Amino acid sequence: MKKFFAVAMTAALVLPAAATSAAAQDEKITIEGLVWLDRNGDKKFDGEAVLAGETKIVKISKHGGGDVVGEYATDDKGRYAARDLPTGKYDVQVSGARYTPTTSRTVTSEGGTVDFGVRGKGIAGHSFHDRNRDGVRQTGEELLSPGTLNGKPIGMPGEDGQFSVDDLPFGKYEFVAADYTQRGLALVKPTGTHPIDWATGTLEFTLGEFEGPAPLEVLYFEAKADIAVAAAVVPAKASYVLGEQIDVELTLTNKGDVPIVPSVVMAEFMAKLLSHSDNIKMLNGRDDDFETVSKILPGQQVKVTLKVELNDVTFDEVWPIARFNFGNLKDVDHKNNVVRLPIKVVEKSTTTEPSAPSSTSQTAAPATTTTPAVAKAGNSSGLASTGASPLGFLGLGALLLAAGAAAFFVARRRRS
């Protein structure tokens, strides 16, 4: 009986303890909170903008360097939540890879609310119609939206022409200047230590904890675009034989004040294109229409070479027509957009190419101009004109008679 009583008392004490332990294991906790942009850095949420839709912004691990439980994103209200966690201690950490925390980076929690204040980086600059191109906005100079940052439009600048984009996460960015060519405006040549690429209107940069772009000066002016073309044929000759290969060389010059991409169409191009220089690309699947690979800056020239075979005698002139592709800007001088260079193609060579003169000059002997005498028909001798004199025949007959007489006298003397 005593043994039974002792076992009963032990069971009475152990069973509640086991039930309590099982209940503790079944209990779950939630860690949640707000992530906001602490722009004033006071570590208090004062109604500032929240960090909404940010992925993997909060990481939760078991306390003391344990396994990572998970990484959590914020919703559209800037809140995150980790639910149904086993009871225990956890290290709750806000990511420092993309933002700088203003509150403690890591907080130990056994459940409940853990909020974080963070700050990002920012960029700033100016954007307006800089009529006098002095870099300072005067009254009457129109404010302009500068462009896009990673594809998102940047808002209008303030009265002083300055704009800014704040609370940006660390990472890579691309700025693209707005296109106002439909209004005849183009980007002023950028300046500074990290200027926008004038030819493309873009700037790529990495925004980090200790780095960022210089101020973005996105100023515009009334542009004057102008492209000029010149042509030459190599080798240069008076005429070319059908089937001959030549080089058509074009020089494109940017005489305006903005970068442009010139294109050229070869009018009445009756020749076979064999190859071309690598600074152009052909357009529309044709061999008489092309544009340069890159923009040409003001004052710069580009030389283009087309190697062709002359396969048509009707090809009588090299006739390039130049234009450019830069939004809606117009060419201020159309007279220098066209050149017409005559060329002659023949079936075969009809003349002998003169030999090149030697370096030492020599004088040739004068040619004889004496004309031999020719007898004319109906002369005083009454003989037909044969081109030979009859006196020669008479002399020959007299000589033969004399020889015969001499032989006769010699024969008589021998007989006697």
71-119, pLDDT tens digit by residue? 999 999 999 999 999 999 999 999 877 788 999 999 999 999 999 999 8
Rounded to an integer, the average pLDDT of 294-322 is 97
Q: What percent of the chain has pLDDT over 90?
A: 65
Domain map (residue ranges) of the chain: 17-118, 121-222, 227-346
| Contacts of residue 3, Cβ cutoff 8 Å, sequence gap at least 6 | none
Distance between CA atoms of residues 368 and 366, nearest Å = 7
pLDDT at res. 84? 95
pLDDT at res. 8? 47
User: In this structure, how many other beta carbons lie within 10 angstroms of the beta carbon of residue 31?
Assistant: 22
Give 284 or 348, the one with higher predicted confidence. Answer: 284
pLDDT tens for each residue of 159-195:
999 999 988 888 899 999 999 999 999 999 998 888 9
User: In this structure, how many other beta carbons lie within 10 angstroms of the beta carbon of residue 82?
Assistant: 22
Nearest to 131 by CA among 179, 91, 188, 77: 188
Give 312 or 13, the one with higher predicted confidence. Answer: 312
Q: Which CATH superfamily is domain 227-346 in?
A: ntegrin, alpha v. Chain A, domain 3 (2.60.40.1510)
* Cβ-contact 188, 219 below 8 angstroms: yes
Q: Which CATH superfamily is domain 121-222 in?
A: Immunoglobulins (2.60.40.10)
Mean pLDDT for the chain? 82
* Cβ-contact 336, 255 below 8 angstroms: yes
Structure tokens belonging to residue 230: 């010149």
For 240-244, 329-333, 377-381, which range has the lowest pLDDT when averaged over its residues? 377-381
Q: Which residue has the tokens 């984009």?
A: 165
Rounded to an integer, the average pLDDT of 342-348 is 94
Nearest to 121 by CA among 149, 146, 143: 149
User: In this structure, how many other beta carbons lie within 10 angstroms of the beta carbon of residue 309?
Assistant: 14
Distance between CA atoms of residues 333 and 20, nearest Å = 93
Give 145 or 355, the one with higher predicted confidence. Answer: 145
Distance between CA atoms of residues 116 and 72, nearest Å = 13
Using omega within 30 degrees of 0 as the cis cutoff, is the peptide bond preceding 235 cis?
A: yes
Q: Which residue has the tokens 């007898």?
A: 375
Structure tokens belonging to residue 36: 């906001």
For 60-64, 100-104, 249-253, 345-349, which range has the lowest pLDDT when averaged over its residues? 345-349
Nearest to 307 by CA among 251, 233, 237: 233
For 73-77, 295-299, 331-335, 368-372, which range has the lowest pLDDT when averaged over its residues? 368-372
* Cβ-contact 291, 320 below 8 angstroms: no
Nearest to 305 by CA among 340, 341, 264: 264
Q: What is the DSSP letter of 371?
A: P
For 58-72, 123-137, 165-179, 344-358, which range has the lowest pLDDT when averaged over its residues? 344-358
For 118-132, 209-223, 321-335, 360-374, which range has the lowest pLDDT when averaged over its residues? 360-374
Rounded to an integer, the average pLDDT of 9-25 is 49
Nearest to 175 by CA among 207, 129, 143, 144: 207
Distance between CA atoms of residues 158 and 93, nearest Å = 37
Distance between CA atoms of residues 120 and 267, nearest Å = 57
pLDDT at res. 383? 30
Distance between CA atoms of residues 203 and 233, nearest Å = 41
pLDDT at res. 94? 94
* Cβ-contact 218, 127 below 8 angstroms: yes
Q: Which CATH superfamily is domain 17-118 in?
A: Immunoglobulins (2.60.40.10)
Distance between CA atoms of residues 250 and 319, nearest Å = 10
- Cα maximum dimension of the chain: 213
Nearest to 262 by CA among 222, 223, 302: 302
For 37-41, 72-76, 390-394, which range has the lowest pLDDT when averaged over its residues? 390-394
Which helix (H) or strand (E) segment holds residue 401: the answer is helix 391-415
* pLDDT above 80 (res 366): no
Judge whether 17-118 and 227-346 match in fold.
Answer: yes
pLDDT at res. 64? 87
Q: What is the DSSP letter of 139?
A: T
- How many CA atoms are closer than 13 Å to the CA of 268, on its beta-carbon side? 13
pLDDT at res. 328? 84
